[in-house]
Chain A
């Protein structure tokens, strides 16, 4: 019938498709593509046997493994960042600080790393704990005056190296360490900093006011000196005449104004009355 006629080629095609699928499935279990940003740690019955595309090697591409017996644990080959926030430390001279710190690190020995930490997902917590203890140890000896330097990157190398020594046991390497926040804890230390700033501003304001007074005084003194110089230059030409000239002006100003009602007693010997007597 119709089914018989279609039956035969269809079966052959299905068998072919099944065969291809089986081969593809086998290929997928045997062949594993290793991406450039990952390292593949191959475990045979749970034991690490080899690493593909580890740090400083170039093994990205297709890798072979035994099906069933071997399984792959993926590790990041890139630099990872571990950030630790809100660490309270006390400096050598007793100043309390809150630090946010971070470090970049990478897995250099996947076998060691896997054996020490098992699942790499838990690595972050473990590393944070280690970083915290390294910090407290290192900053206990630093003076507050050097914290500014630390913020600028002076002395961070020592902390990085200390952290790196700890992580060497985990098959990891620390490349950088940095501070992303240095803060004074709220409460007394922060209040003290604000008070210091306010006091500084107050004394600055007073300094500015005093300098302003001084400057104004000097400006006036300069002008006075200049005025004296101007008078001297012109009046010394004839001091005797100046005495007369200025006296005349002065008489005008004191007696010559309207409504002064000064009573002047004159002796007939007065120079003004020379002609009065009709001599």
Chain B
């Protein structure tokens, strides 16, 4: 009997006064309601229950808060009066265990409200159009909101460290999606038009270069014997031209030539002193 009682006492002491604290955890030893400092991993020793106890919390694991949890569209107002549908995840961990437990009656609710406040404040400071939320502003939104959220939490000494905010969605509301698609379409049309103009320009310049280059080359040769080359070019051209044409040579000046009807251009005309080949 006495050894059984002794064993019960030892078990009671061990179970209620020794508290193993894991590698990710911190502990606060409570003695009759009074709180000690936060202590790191190892063994925390308190008075046995009911005098003492220990509060152990994970302080390194990153926790997630998803906003919004059920609403399909989560609309926020931008500086230029537009609406944008934003969904995001807050990554956070307990930064200071004592503050986390002692500062706020409901840290989770406070975090949720502060996160909304911070995100709306950030969105309200940005424009929808231009380089705003539909452009480069998107990339900084999460970062800016996280910084603002941290400031709000620190004001209350919430003991929460915000690791980051991930934007899951930052889109225009579905009711204006069509109008915004038209903007995208106009933008790609304009790009296509510019490409086409560039291509046309390249062709035009290439043609000019070709013609000018050809002239330069011919002119280079022409300079050596202008008269002869000129004659040569003239006869060569006339030969080609007249070989493909019907020819009429009118001997006396002032003679009227009856031309065949152009409706039947295939039949060779046989009038005057036609010198057919």
Residue numbers in A under 8 Å from B139 (CB-CB) = none
- B212–A230 touching, CB < 8 Å: yes
- Least Cβ distance of A18 to chain B in Å? 17
Known interface pairs A35-B33, A223-B201, A231-B212; A241-B222 also in contact (CB < 8 Å)? yes
- B182–A263 touching, CB < 8 Å: no
Residue numbers in B under 8 Å from A267 (CB-CB) = 249-250, 253
- B208–A212 touching, CB < 8 Å: no
CA distance A204 to B80 in the complex (A): 14
A-B contacts, CB under 8 A, total: 269
- Least Cβ distance of A273 to chain B in Å? 7
Query: Which residues 234-276 of B have a CB within 8 angstroms of A?
Result: 234-235, 237-238, 240-251, 253, 257, 259-260, 265-266, 269
B209 at the interface (CB under 8 A from A): yes
- A204–B129 touching, CB < 8 Å: yes
CA distance A80 to B241 in the complex (A): 102
Residue numbers in B under 8 Å from A36 (CB-CB) = 30, 33-35, 102
Known interface pairs A33-B33, A234-B216; A83-B248 also in contact (CB < 8 Å)? no
- Least Cβ distance of A20 to chain B in Å? 14
- A152–B176 touching, CB < 8 Å: no
Chain B 77-107, CB-CB to A under 8 Å as 1, else 0, gives: 1010111000000000000000001111110
- Least Cβ distance of B70 to chain A in Å? 14
By beta carbon, the residue of chain A nearest B118 is A178
A50 at the interface (CB under 8 A from B): no
A196 at the interface (CB under 8 A from B): yes
Known interface pairs A78-B105, A213-B193, A242-B215; A148-B226 also in contact (CB < 8 Å)? no
Residue numbers in B under 8 Å from A259 (CB-CB) = 244
- A104–B110 touching, CB < 8 Å: yes
B200 at the interface (CB under 8 A from A): yes
- Least Cβ distance of B211 to chain A in Å? 7
Our pick among A37, A148, A226, A248 for the contact of B124 (Cβ within 8 Å) is: A148
B11 at the interface (CB under 8 A from A): no
Known interface pairs A201-B183, A202-B179; A230-B208 also in contact (CB < 8 Å)? yes
- Least Cβ distance of A139 to chain B in Å? 15
From A108-116, A128-136, A249-257, give the one contacting chain B. A249-257
CA distance A8 to B234 in the complex (A): 152
- B113–A178 touching, CB < 8 Å: yes
- A61–B32 touching, CB < 8 Å: yes
Residue numbers in A under 8 Å from B179 (CB-CB) = 197-199, 201-202, 205
Residue numbers in B under 8 Å from A223 (CB-CB) = 200-202, 204-205
CA distance A197 to B213 in the complex (A): 55
Known interface pairs A180-B120, A219-B201; A78-B190 also in contact (CB < 8 Å)? no
CA distance A258 to B110 in the complex (A): 90
By beta carbon, the residue of chain B nearest A40 is B33
A125 at the interface (CB under 8 A from B): no
- B208–A197 touching, CB < 8 Å: no
- A79–B104 touching, CB < 8 Å: yes
- B190–A227 touching, CB < 8 Å: no
- A201–B180 touching, CB < 8 Å: yes
Chain B 27-40, CB-CB to A under 8 Å as 1, else 0, gives: 00011111100000
Known interface pairs A226-B205, A251-B241; A178-B114 also in contact (CB < 8 Å)? yes
By beta carbon, the residue of chain A nearest B175 is A194
By beta carbon, the residue of chain A nearest B123 is A151
- B265–A266 touching, CB < 8 Å: no
Query: Which residues 32-83 of A have a CB within 8 angstroms of B?
Result: 33-38, 60-62, 76-81, 83
Query: Which residues 195-235 of A have a CB within 8 angstroms of B?
Result: 196-202, 204-206, 208-209, 211-213, 215-217, 219-220, 222-224, 226-228, 230-231, 233-235
- A220–B33 touching, CB < 8 Å: no
B109 at the interface (CB under 8 A from A): yes
CA distance A81 to B111 in the complex (A): 10
- B219–A197 touching, CB < 8 Å: no
A265 at the interface (CB under 8 A from B): yes
CA distance A227 to B208 in the complex (A): 5
CA distance A223 to B204 in the complex (A): 7
- Least Cβ distance of B130 to chain A in Å? 9
B9 at the interface (CB under 8 A from A): no
Our pick among B193, B202, B211 for the contact of A212 (Cβ within 8 Å) is: B193
CA distance A238 to B230 in the complex (A): 13
- A244–B245 touching, CB < 8 Å: no
A-B residue pairs in contact (CB < 8 Å), sample of 11: A151-B120, A151-B124, A184-B77, A199-B179, A216-B196, A226-B201, A235-B212, A248-B233, A248-B234, A258-B244, A267-B250
Known: A233-B212, A242-B215. 14 other contacts (CB 8 A): A38-B33, A79-B110, A148-B79, A152-B121, A206-B186, A223-B205, A235-B212, A241-B222, A252-B237, A256-B241, A262-B245, A265-B250, A272-B235, A272-B238
**The 6 A-B residue pairs with the shortest CB-CB distance in the complex, in nearest-first order:** A212-B190, A223-B201, A227-B208, A201-B179, A151-B124, A234-B212
